[in-house]
């Protein structure tokens, strides 16, 4: 299973990254994760479940020890999300094909009535 973690640490400092933010980013950057995106307003990383959960534990402990007063994070199962999105897309395509067929049938019936 693959997971995606998104997180921010507080308090914010727009002039320079506070120690807790730097510590959290360092944890994520050295973890065995891929698709790491570090930014001023949020950070995202993806990887296997064990790697992500291990990194989340370390970033919470490290950032809180470095002075964070709040850590907001979200963890998503991206394999399941991709399956759900694919199923939704297939349903939309099926609905569209049925609608197109119904319109075509109506047009043919209208011409036959003339």
Q: What is the pLDDT of residues 17-59, one digit of tens each?
A: 899 999 998 999 999 998 898 887 789 999 999 999 999 999 9
- pLDDT score for 13: 82
- pLDDT score for 23: 93
Nearest to 66 by CA among 11, 28, 16: 11
* Per-residue pLDDT at 81 exceeds 70: no
Strand order in the sheet with 34-38: 34-38, 43-48, 2-10, 70-77
* Per-residue pLDDT at 108 exceeds 90: no
Class of residue 43 by CB neighbours under 10 A (exposed 0-12, middle 13-18, buried 19+): buried
Say if residues 55 and 5 touch (Cβ distance below 8 Å).
yes
What residues are paired with 75 via a beta bridge?
Answer: 5
* Per-residue pLDDT at 71 exceeds 90: yes
């Amino acid at each position: 299973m693959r997971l995606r973690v998104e997180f921010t640490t507080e308090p914010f400092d727009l002039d320079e990254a506070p120690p807790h933010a730097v510590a959290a980013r360092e944890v994520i950057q050295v973890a065995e994760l891929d698709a790491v995106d570090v930014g001023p307003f949020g950070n995202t990383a993806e990887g296997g479940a064990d790697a992500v959960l291990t990194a989340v534990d370390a970033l919470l402990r490290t950032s809180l020890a470095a002075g964070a007063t709040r850590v907001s994070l979200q963890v998503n199962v991206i394999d399941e999300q991709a399956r759900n999105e694919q199923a939704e897309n297939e349903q939309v395509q099926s609905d569209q094909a049925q609608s197109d067929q119904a319109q075509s049938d109506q047009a043919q019936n209208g011409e036959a009535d003339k």
